[in-house]
Chain A
């Protein structure tokens, strides 16, 4: 199955296609983000930026697993100095990912970038940073408060959700109440590998988040559940690596998708997926979004 191409209106953004770069992947520098846009991405989400510069966790920060990637970067970021990186991206579809330890910190970071970013994505879902990410994102009241703190600035505000909860729709509905423009589902799945030779967890942080093909079914399920419960658009994320994955995610309820781990081996995967996904005799995308429901 193929879909027709055209401008994609989602979560307050107008994108050239359905395929965005996910947060945390090749998003540390402006030139890297520009490279991904030149590789055919419809939009890019930056590395999560926080209220203070952070060096992240000690290594190993990444290890490959069968069908996936396990990481615990620890939210490394240059904080406000990231403004300099965005200079080469003026006018481009750049979504700034934000993390903070409370609603005020989210708002502070967002206010620094209100003139340069096209939209915000709130990282309420990183599974391996104490006091940040999923530490807030598993509490619907905090999700609502953080979302409200940023959405009140008037720019499109997306909220990225964690799958590491019993019911992801509670957090989705909380973001919706807080004024979110879209939901992004999902962040990584909390996970661990142990080196049997070293007799210790592989990652420096011990616990990390799993991404890549192995979490795609989890992501589809989460998007499906959110589509049943929420009215705002959903951006599917988690293990997408082919046009078939994009179609499946759209049928679950996604209006667009983000691609992360699959970019590792081929930064121009956006262009190759688009070639497979779009056709002038395809079906209109709107007719398949959520069509697996009912």
Chain B
């Protein structure tokens, strides 16, 4: 995927090992989302993720929002523990892992909620011509001021407090999809499923790339806990970014598996 590499300063990681990083700053982005800055940073491709260890608690996959930041929504025990940390605390990092988004100019990006985090580097490096961003409410719109400086932005909120009232798919009607070289998508599962259906109806599924989230244990393609149906591809190693046409008849939007491997309806 993608030929253009974005040069980013930072030390290449020893991918397999666990490296300690020190939290340098914590930024409250929205009422439920914080960005954790750490040192040292490292080189990565937009859309790649790291496995983040909160010492003594657990390890969770997190997309990189910069070469030295992760942007996290508080959703469970591990993210709750991460929200208890302070600048100066140590985290463990493995990675970066996964394939990342193709790096092409002329990209249409579609973000839902904290799904704006892995798309942020694409926008900040000038590859995104237009960004559609959705959230539950106006104050949950992530990175909006800096993204607006880099690209044209269209907003949708579930409660209508900013932009179009309703899901981000509502914005797609106004967009000349075929004019973009690719469409990169990250957001909640149901939102991505709805976006993919719309793109498929417009004949654009093959030019779209969706970043999936699945429960992961190893992050390196060996344990099998993040495999998707029906073809058994590994989200951590073969993804997390998949082309839309390869997901049309998949489990996307239907079910995921929990830590034990039991299926859960989305």
List, sorted by A's number, 26 A–B pairs whose CB atoms are closer than 8 Å.
Answer: A25-B223, A26-B221, A26-B227, A26-B232, A28-B223, A28-B225, A28-B257, A31-B231, A36-B232, A53-B262, A55-B259, A58-B57, A60-B51, A60-B59, A60-B94, A62-B217, A64-B220, A71-B218, A71-B222, A73-B217, A81-B263, A195-B20, A197-B19, A197-B20, A197-B90, A202-B18
Q: Which of B224, B233, B260 contacts A27 (CB 8 A)?
A: B224
Taking the nearest CB of chain A, how far is it from the CB of B126, in angstroms? 34
Q: Is B219 an interface residue (CB 8 A)?
A: yes
Where the two chains meet, the residues of B that have a C-beta atom closer than 8 Å to any C-beta of A are: 15-20, 51, 53, 55-60, 90, 92, 94, 217-225, 227-234, 237, 257-263
- Chain A residue with minimal CB distance to B238? A267
Contacts of B230 in A (CB 8 A): 31, 88
Taking a contact as CB atoms under 8 Å apart, the answer to whether A200 and B56 are in contact is: yes
Contacts of A71 in B (CB 8 A): 218, 222-223
Q: Which of A56, A62, A77 contacts B222 (CB 8 A)?
A: A62
Taking a contact as CB atoms under 8 Å apart, the answer to whether A26 and B224 are in contact is: yes
Cα-based distance from A79 to B263 in the complex (angstroms): 12
- Bin chain A's interface residue count: 35 or more
Q: Is A13 an interface residue (CB 8 A)?
A: no
Taking the nearest CB of chain A, how far is it from the CB of B244, in angstroms? 19
- Contact flags A20-40 to B (C-beta < 8 A → 1, else 0): 000011111111111110000
Name the 3 nearest CB pairs between A and B, nearest first: A64-B16, A59-B59, A197-B20
Among A36, A63, A65, A77, the most chain B Cβ lie within 10 Å of the Cβ of A63
Contacts of B15 in A (CB 8 A): 64
Interface members, chain A 62-97 (any B CB < 8 Å): 62-65, 69, 71, 73, 76-79, 81-82, 84-85, 88
Cα-based distance from A84 to B55 in the complex (angstroms): 36
Contacts of A59 in B (CB 8 A): 51, 53, 58-60, 217
Known: A28-B225, A33-B232. 4 other contacts (CB 8 A): A29-B232, A35-B227, A54-B260, A78-B261
Q: Which of B19, B217, B231 contacts A35 (CB 8 A)?
A: B231
Taking a contact as CB atoms under 8 Å apart, the answer to whether A62 and B220 are in contact is: yes
Taking a contact as CB atoms under 8 Å apart, the answer to whether B55 and A35 are in contact is: no
Cα-based distance from A26 to B55 in the complex (angstroms): 27
Contacts of A24 in B (CB 8 A): 223
